[in-house]
Amino acid sequence: MTSAFEDESLGLKLKGYGLAANSALETKIAIYTPEIVQSILSEHPEIVDRWLQNLHSEYISRKKSCDFDNDPVACFTLSAYEEFEKHFKSWEDGGIIAITLPQDRVIRMSKKPLISITVDSKASYLVCNKCLASFTDLDEFEKHCRHENEAKPVEKKNTAEKDDYVTPNPFRWVTP
């Protein structure tokens, strides 16, 4: 089924400051349903990565056209592409992107999944991608994730030393 998404006509486009499916991809999504498409693309993020690389190439060419050729159309659309570049860098670092679909539906994707489910011959277990700890129970895994994401309390420094210090009076230095 992933070969259905290897078609070169499929891709993403910028719609305002967000990502949207192009018309060929919208047709595929209408055929397979958004849930199935999200599942397929989640398992194969290299497909979405290729589409994002194409948009990145468009950004590079528009940037060159604006800077070197003084193309007003390229300069006008450059701000949307610059915003895309922020999201693209986040994607490269494992962040989540959102692809907007018709009727205000959204598919969210990540290049690197937040958790991995590994199936062994005996049992399946969950693996934390931050610390690579493995868990056989979902409750233990959720507890671990909450513990990892808790904010560490900030230690207050002892300010008593600062309170004891008195600034010198500059008028005492002046002799009458």
The domain boundary residue, chosen from 110, 141, 162: 110
Domain that holds residue 119: 115-149
For residue 28, the model assigns a pLDDT of 87
For residue 29, the model assigns a pLDDT of 86
Q: Is residue 52 over pLDDT 90?
A: yes
Note whether 141 and 93 are same-domain residues: no
Residue 163 lies in a domain: no
Q: Is residue 11 over pLDDT 70?
A: yes
In the chain, the amino acid numbered 105 is R
Residue 73 lies in a domain: yes
Note whether 81 and 122 are same-domain residues: no
Residue 165 lies in a domain: no
What is the pTM assigned to this prediction?
0.63
Select from 110, 98, 91, 86 the least CA-distant residue to 20. 98
Note whether 57 and 128 are same-domain residues: no
Highest mean pLDDT among 34-38, 58-62, 105-109, 135-139: 58-62
Note whether 97 and 18 are same-domain residues: yes
Count of all residues that appear for the chain in the document: 176
| Mean local confidence (pLDDT), 57-71 | 91
**CA dihedral defined by 40, 46, 47, 53, rounded to 10 degrees?**
150
For residue 114, the model assigns a pLDDT of 57
Q: Is residue 151 over pLDDT 50?
A: no
Mean pLDDT lowest among 76-85, 103-112, 137-146: 137-146
Note whether 59 and 140 are same-domain residues: no
Note whether 43 and 106 are same-domain residues: yes
Report the run of H or E that residue 12 belongs to, with start and end. strand 12-15
* Contacts with 49 (C-beta within 8 Å, 6 or more apart), sequence order: 91, 111
Number of domains composing the chain: 2
